Structure 1
């Protein structure tokens, strides 16, 4: 397995940042029963889904300054 060229710049890509944020929100959703009653039901799932969609969109948008 080989890394893509310039893989050191991966953290500068919004698609990577948003994918990490989506994964973190999914993890928070797993421990949501601890916060039951403090956070409305479905909030973390909605935010995680929206972040995942944003990551997919960001994947196809040209990002300047990464050449």
Structure 2
């Protein structure tokens, strides 16, 4: 009997998918990343991708508190 210890990873989001999810332009996502103000990316070869949970956590952190 063999045991499968593989950890299932969540699907990664592309730059276009992140921009669409946030309803902003790709340039805005690039700018936020360049300024160090965005969720950490995963480098896959020469491309960047994001875990959906990291993007959702970043959005949650950006939520303003009502006065």
Q: TM-score w.r.t. structure 2 length?
A: 0.26
Say which structure is richer in helix: 1
- TM-score, normalised via structure 1 length: 0.26
RCO higher in structure (CA 8 A, sep ≥6): 1
